[in-house]
Amino acid sequence: MSTLVLAFHPKFNETSRIGKALAEAAKAAGATVVDEYAEYPQFNVGKEAEQARVDAADRVVLLFPFYWYSSPALLKQWEDTVLTPDWAYGNAHKLIGKEFQVAVSTGSPADSYTPEGKHHVTMDELLSPFATMVHHVGATWVKPFIVADVNNLSDEQLAEAASEFAAQL
């Protein structure tokens, strides 16, 4: 199975310990990893280039940090530009049979994402727009990979998260 990891982190090479660790683990597992902010710093997403990348993959993983209960802005721009009715849905349905997954890092601890927790909602609820998009285009939603409390991870915990990510790819 060919896996494409699209990394949407505005400061990927500057501050993202977890993003870099997951990307390196994915590369070591044979995945293709693309730093989307390096590719499109002005948000001019290349529709045909991105569609070709997705066409060539069996699984697409959207890797991003959780920002204000959602994804960074470039991921939304990517969705709006790439997932067009002449390709992703409508008469085309080019994504049927593909797997989609999100790999998300959060600054808050995992127990913050419960009805009783700090944020009063679950990660499944917060990620439901992504699951809905995946179902709408006829692809298969794969259980999200979530790493919580990233600012407090030890080096060992970081390595363990990266290993778990690579293993499930």
Mean pLDDT within 118-139:
97
Alpha helix (H) residue ranges in the chain:
12-15, 17-28, 36-39, 47-55, 73-82, 123-126, 128-136, 155-168
Mean pLDDT within 1-17:
87
pLDDT digits (tens, 9 = 90+) for 102-128: 999 999 999 999 999 999 999 999 999
pLDDT digits (tens, 9 = 90+) for 43-75: 999 999 999 999 999 999 999 999 899 999 999
Write down the pLDDT at residue 80. Answer: 98
Write down the pLDDT at residue 10. Answer: 87
Which residues are 6's β-sheet partners?
34, 62
11 confidence band (pLDDT: 50, 70, 90): confident
The proportion of the chain whose per-residue pLDDT surpasses 70, expressed as a percent, equals 98
Fold of 3-168: Rossmann fold (3.40.50)
Look at residue 16 and tell me whether its pLDDT is greater than 90: no
Write down the pLDDT at residue 13. Answer: 66
Write down the pLDDT at residue 104. Answer: 97
Burial class (CB in 10 A: 0-12, 13-18, 19+), 95: buried
